[in-house]
Every structure is written in structure tokens, then in C-alpha cells.
Amino acid sequence: MSISLNEIKKPISEELKQFEHHFKDSMKSQVALLNKITYYIVKRKGKQVRPMFVFLVAKSFGKVNEACYIAASLVELLHTATLVHDDVVDDSNERRGFFSINALWKNKIAVLVGDYLLSKGLLLALDNKQYKLLQIVSRAKGNERRRIASNRKSP
């Protein structure tokens, strides 16, 4: 028996709609170019599996609250930052069938955009006093980075 992604999303469909607004708001900048690039990123979003996990787990233990939206946005911002950086490292011109950020705006801009997304995610948690969330995510991302680095060194 196979369950589709849409079936998995059903119990959290309202939360995912609200998440879209939180996520867009979390990337806002006073720099026009950054807003243009983040708009491009939001329009070509992926499956957003990580925010789905946040909401599904939250619902299984109670209810979805503001801290869940912060966690989901933080995780998605960090994930998106790593994708932008990975496209630069891998010299990839495509992401999900569309031009990558580095293909459209060159590597220097892409690295800065990835850094911007990372810092926006960290600031989102800090501004909302979600220190434990920062600690959990930082440890998880550190472990993931070490795993990726060791895989890249292997022939």
C-alpha cells in the first residue's frame, strides 16, 4: 500500500497554507535584489517535507502553535540555504527543473543569498527566543555537513 504525498498533507493542509505566509515573511529584506531572488525561490519551492514533518509531529503531540511555524520556517530557511550553497559547490545550473540561483545571478550572489537565508533563519529563532530550537537544529546541521563533507572526499 502506497500513500501519496497529498494524503500525508491532508491533516496539516491549513497549517501548510499558513506556513507559506510565515516563510515568505521570514525572508523579507529591504534590498530589492534579495527580494527578487527570494521571490524566485518561493515560487519554485520544493515539496516542503521538513515543514510537513514539523507540523505532523506537533499535531501528533498536541496542537500546532506559533513556535511550530518558527521551527518550520527555520528548518526550511536552513535547508534552502544549503541547497543554494550546494548548487555553487556542485556548479549546478538547475534546481528542480529550473535555473539555479547561481546560474541566474552568478556564484558570488548565490553564496551571499545562501548566507542571507541562513542568517534569517538563525535570527528568526533568536528574535523569538527559541534557543533550544537553535541548539537542536545547529547540532543536526553540523552532523549533516560532516556527513556530506566525508561523502564528497570519497572517490
Sign, CA torsion 25/70/12/50? positive
Tens of pLDDT along 66-99? 999 999 999 999 999 999 999 999 999 998 889 9
| Mean pLDDT along residues 102-120 | 96
Please report the pLDDT score of residue 142 as a whole number. 63
| Complete domains list, the chain, with CATH | 13-153 (1.10.600.10)
Q: Please report, rounded to a whole number, the percentage of residues in the chain having pLDDT higher than 90.
A: 73
At residue 35, the 3 state secondary structure works out as helix
Q: CB atoms < 10 A from the CB of 81, how many?
A: 21
How confident is residue 155, by pLDDT bands cut at 50, 70 and 90? low
